[in-house]
Each structure stands twice: as structure tokens, then as C-alpha cells.
Structure 1
Amino acid sequence: MTVQNQFSGGFQNAPIEAAHAFRAAMTVMARPGEIRRIIGTHPPAPLSVAAGTLLLTLCDPDTSVFLAGGVDMDAVRQWLTFHTGAPLVTAGQADFAVGTWRALMPLGQFRIGTPEYPDRSATLIVECDDLNQAGATLTGPGIKGVARLSLPDIPTLRANAALYPLGCDFFFTCGDKVAALPRSTQIKAEG
């Protein structure tokens, strides 16, 4: 049995695996509602493979991270710091935040950008128990017609979308699967 520590669980072939993971992350952000497999890391529990791979792909010493709820533990902090050098900060300072939907609430604690710099907002990596192309109806940029995605809290996500061009962006992860919801996407309840 392999012992997990902060030195293990990173990319085995970083240039290739990180490039594949980056492409998957950008694809789902450009095509809301699409679900892709994203692999390459073996993060400490309770982080999923998808969340860990996103963090190692998107974070570096210049991108701050907030760990919410159950993922805010020594093993995760040490692993993330060793592999990315990303500073761990409070919710209001975070470029990226990771945790369950419940642990990440309230959404208002995260940066939403400013009219001059809407890109200075947080991206939330939401760990989900289930992720599938059912539930809420999505429309907007990157979607031909409509898409569907299981979302944890439609009213809160609709309120975030109403702030556009401000607001947060989201990755939803489950196991080795990832989907995204940029703030520009319009959301309608299942129906």
C-alpha cells in the first residue's frame, strides 16, 4: 500500500498531463454543460481526482487558494503548497476556492471583480456527489441551443449570473469528471 504524503500524488509526466488537464478545463469552461474526464493527479482525500488535477493545473505561486470545510486539512494544505506554491488565503482574497457547495457558502464572501476589472473574481471548484447532464437548462455563449447540468443551488447561481459581467465562475467536480459554469451562462430551473 502506498503512503500518501505531500510529495506524492502530483503529475507523473507534468508537461503532457498538465496540458491535457488544461485543455479539458478550458473546454468545459468554453462549453457550459459539457462534462469531461480530467485526470493526472492523486490528491489526498477528501479532494477528488478532478479537483486535485484542476488545482495543480491552474494554480501557482501567484494564484491564491481558499480551502473550505472538509478539504481544509493539513494533508491537503501541504500537498497543494508543495505541488503549486499557491498561497492559502481567506475566502475574500481567493483566486480559487475549493470545497462542497455547502462549505463554500455564502457566495457573497468571494470576489466578483469590479466594473474596471471583472476578471478579478474568484473561481470556485465545487465538489459534488453527482455530476450529470440533467437538471437545470443552460443557455448562452458556447452552448448550441440548450445544455443541461445538475447544479447544487439554481437560485444562487442565477443571482450570480445576473451580476454579469461581474460574478464568480464555477467548476463542478465529481470523481474524475469536471463541468463548468461561467458567469455568462443563463440558468433556468429544470422543467
Structure 2
Amino acid sequence: MNERLDTAAILPGLQDPVLDAQRIFRSVLAAISRPGTVQALESVPTPVPLNPASMAVCLALLDYDTPLWLDPAACAGRGVREHLRFHCGCPLVEQPARAAFALVTDSSALPELEAFARGSDEYPERSTTLIVQVSGLESGGGWRLRGPGIPATAHLGVQGLAESFPAQWRTNHALHPRGVDLLLTCGNRIAALPRSVELEA
């Protein structure tokens, strides 16, 4: 039996679901194709503790075929499950390794990257894309990035992740073409860390 939705907790979605989702998708694609750049996304109604960029990504990318894992902080937010199920239709899963997408609203409690699906040599695309909310995000300073989509090097300033994250990312990058991809969000901004990118802290 399907769990009944608490419709009182559901906020409005995109004003124009087709055109707005296309604009958001193009911005996400720009972030992925040019690692180190920060893109601004549509501002959308957002249940706490999600930020507008995370919600916009969910509205544009998630559907019935994209299982989603929520971190404990997101699960505790009033109306988060209802809002996502109503607007995205995505099934929610309990195990990170079963998720096509994972939403991490408390970056300080980000699980080890190895907890998520990393694909296989035959099907590297069967991996998890993590949407991770951080406390600070800006082009320049911080990490040095190298890889596809970066002419030489790029710099990305990120606050809110554990000190162990760069070492975890090096392990993840070494698995390429396997591995997870990250979409970092802060407010209405987004930057991407594809698995193909090298990171130096």
C-alpha cells in the first residue's frame, strides 16, 4: 500500500515545469562540462533543510526511474519526503548504494564515498550522483582542479566538507571510469565535481 502524502506540507514546484526544468538542466550541464565554474540556478520554493539549488536540481533531474537516498537531516525536515515524491515521483531508498542520486543536506556528516554505488567496468554509469549542500562555494582559491573541461587548472573554494574529503576524492578519481560524481550546492549556486577531475587541496 502506498504511503499517503501529507499534502499540507507540499510547496509549489516550478512555475513552468518544462521550460524551467530545461533552463536548470542547461545550467547543471554547464557546471559539469566546466568543472570549477559556479552556476546560478532558478530560485524555487524549498522545504527546510534543502537549499534552492538542491531543490532545483531535484526538480530537473529526478523522476520515477531515479531512486533517491536522503541523509538523516533531510529525512527529519518537515515535508521533504512529501515534496519530493509529489513533484519528482522519485522512489526513496534506505541504502546509499541503491541510489541513482543522493541528497546530503549536512555536508559535515557526508558518508564515505565508497558507501555509494560506483558503477562497474562494464556499466560505469550505474553509479550515484551526490547532491551535497556546502556552507560556502565560489570560483577561485581553495581546491586546484585538473581534468576534462578545464583548459589548464581551475580553482574552487568549498567550505563545509570534512578534512578527509580530498583524500576520499583521490580514491574515487583513481577508479575512473567508475566512481561517483558530485554536485555541490550553496544557496542558489552549483558547481560540479565529475569523477574524471583530479583535486588538490
TM tier, smaller: over 0.9
Identity of aligned residues (%): 38
Instruction: Name the SS for the 2:79 alignment partner.
Output: helix
Which residue identity is paired with 2:37? E
Further displaced range: 22-31 or 103-112: 103-112
2:88 aligns with: 84
1:173 aligns with: 185
The one-character-per-residue Cα deviations of 1:132-178 (angstroms, maximum 9, x if unpaired) are 12201001100111111124321111211111111000000000000
Mapping 1:21-170, distance limit 5 Å:
21-73=24-76, 74-89=78-93, 90-99=95-104, 100-133=106-139, 134-151=141-158, 152=161, 153-170=165-182
Instruction: Name the SS for the 2:144 alignment partner.
Output: strand
Give the drift of 1:6. Answer: 4.3
The one-character-per-residue Cα deviations of 1:15-74 (angstroms, maximum 9, x if unpaired) are 111111000001101110110001142110110000000011100000010000211135
Q: List runs of 5+ in structure 1 lacking aligned partners.
A: none
In the alignment, the residues of structure 2 paired with residue 160 and residue 5 of structure 1 have an alpha-carbon distance, to the nearest angstrom, of: 41
RMSD, aligned CA:
1.4
Further displaced range: 108-117 or 66-75: 66-75
Instruction: Name the SS for the 1:135 alignment partner.
Output: strand
Please tell me whether the aligned partners of residues 69 and 96 of structure 2 are also in contact (alpha carbons under 8 angstroms).
yes
In the alignment, the residues of structure 2 paired with residue 80 and residue 166 of structure 1 have an alpha-carbon distance, to the nearest angstrom, of: 28
Which residue identity is paired with 2:176? Y
Which residue identity is paired with 2:92? L
Q: List runs of 5+ in structure 2 lacking aligned partners.
A: 1-6
TM-score after normalising by structure 2: 0.88
The structure 1 segments of at least 4 consecutive aligned residues displaced by more than 3 Å after TM superposition are 4-7
In structure 2, relative to structure 1, the CA distance for the partners of 1:22 and 1:5 (3 Å cut) is farther
Give the drift of 1:5. Answer: 4.6
Instruction: Name the SS for the 1:131 alignment partner.
Output: strand
In the alignment, the residues of structure 1 paired with residue 62 and residue 153 of structure 2 have an alpha-carbon distance, to the nearest angstrom, of: 31
Instruction: Name the SS for the 2:73 alignment partner.
Output: helix
Which residue identity is paired with 1:51? S
Please tell me whether the aligned partners of residues 6 and 82 of structure 1 are also in contact (alpha carbons under 8 angstroms).
no
Residue correspondences, number: 186
Please tell me whether the aligned partners of residues 141 and 184 of structure 1 are also in contact (alpha carbons under 8 angstroms).
yes
Higher strand share: 2
Instruction: Name the SS for the 1:98 alignment partner.
Output: strand
